Homo-oligomer: A and B are copies of this chain.
Amino acid sequence: MKKDIQNRLKTISLSIIESYKTYKQISHLNSEDLPKREEVIDVVLRLREVLFPGYFSKHGCNSKSVNAMVDEEIDIIYKKLHKQVYCAFVLYADKENADKSKLLTSAEEKTLAFLGKISYMREILAMDVKAAYEGDPAASSTDEIIFSYPGIFAIMTHRIAHELHLLSVPLIPRIMSEYAHAITGIDIHPGAKIGKHFFIDHGTGIVIGETTQIGEYVRIYQGVTLGALSLRAGQSLRGTKRHPTLENNVIVYAGASILGGNTVIGEGVVIGSNVFITKSVAGKTNVSMKTPELQYIDKASKKSRKKDEDMMIDWVI
Contacts and interface: CB of A to CB of B under 8 A. Distances in A.
B59 A32 contact: yes
Contacts of A54: 27-31, 34
Contacts of A253: 231
B16 A29 contact: no
Q: Work out how many copies of this chain go into the complex.
A: 3
B279 A307 contact: yes
Given A275-B294, A294-B275, A147 B171 contact: yes
A293 interface: yes
A138 B209 contact: yes
A272 to B, nearest CB: 8
Given A38-B58, A287-B294, 17 more contacts: A1-B78, A12-B74, A15-B118, A20-B66, A35-B147, A92-B141, A137-B235, A137-B236, A147-B175, A150-B182, A207-B254, A255-B255, A273-B276, A278-B313, A285-B299, A289-B292, A297-B317
Contacts of A137: 210, 228, 231, 233-240, 242
A181 interface: yes
Instruction: Bin the interface of chain A by size.
Output: 35 or more
A101 interface: no
Interface string A33-68: 111111000000000001111111111111100110
A311 B26 contact: no
A282 B311 contact: no
A144 interface: yes
B149 A119 contact: no
Given A204-B181, A204-B204, A279-B309, A26 B296 contact: no
A299 B286 contact: yes
A266 to B, nearest CB: 11
Contacts of A36: 58
A68 to B, nearest CB: 10
A297 B56 CA distance: 45
A20 B53 contact: yes
A213 interface: no
Contact of A150 (B181, B251, B275): B181
A32 B62 contact: yes
- Across the A-B interface, give the 3 residue pairs with the lowest CB-CB distance, nearest first: A28-B54, A31-B54, A31-B60
